[in-house]
Homo-oligomer: A and B are copies of this chain.
Amino acid sequence: MAQAFTGVHNINMDAKGRLAFPARQRERLGPDSSSTLVATVNVSSPCLFIYPQSAWEQVLEKVQALPTMRPGVQNFQRLFVGYATEMEFDGNGRLLLPSSLREYAGLDKKLVLVGQINKFELWDETRWQDVRQQPVEIPEELQSIAL
């Protein structure tokens, strides 16, 4: 893994659906500024995932390996793979989000970009606030590791 993505950033989307990726995070994607990203939906939360191309390919392999005919799997693949869209930065370091993805995540003007190790999550600010204020229940898996 190249470098883990972390950090929470407030960013704005303009009227054309373009969003300025924070410069610092852009550098982490690779010294070459012209890297390709893949955005798709998080099927279990109203937000988007944004992967660097290479990370996406790894995830896609895992997803393809799932038993397609199992109930639930097909639905998941349909959304997760279906919404996946390649994106590149424009000359000003901005990404153009497809309208279908904007709609899915209810993205308005004010967004929040959250680093998540191998990917980013992108939230509409209001929904992010909702999630942030909900109490975190500690799952069992967490109780067995030291932080």
Q: Which residues of A are in contact with B by a Cβ distance under 8 Å?
A: 4, 6-10, 40, 43-44, 49, 59-60, 62-64, 66-67, 70-86, 98-101, 104, 114-117, 119, 121, 131-132, 134, 136-139, 141-142, 145, 147
Nearest 8 interchain pairs by C-beta: A72-B139, A6-B84, A82-B114, A8-B100, A43-B136, A7-B85, A72-B137, A73-B139
How many copies are assembled?
Answer: 2
Cβ contact of A71, chosen from B63, B99, B139, B147, cutoff 8 A: B139
Q: How far is the CB of A23 from chain B (nearest CB, A)?
A: 14
A85–B5 alpha-carbon span in the complex (Å): 9
Q: What residues of B have a CB within 8 angstroms of the CB of A101 in the complex?
A: 8
Complex: A60 Cα to B147 Cα, angstroms: 9
Majority-rule SS of A interface residues: mixed
Cα A75 to Cα B74 in complex, Å, equals 21
Known: A75-B131, A134-B75. A147 touches B59 (CB 8 A): yes
**12 further interface pairs, Cβ-Cβ under 8 Å (given A62-B147, A72-B138):** A6-B82, A6-B85, A8-B85, A10-B99, A43-B138, A73-B139, A73-B142, A75-B137, A76-B136, A78-B131, A81-B115, A82-B115
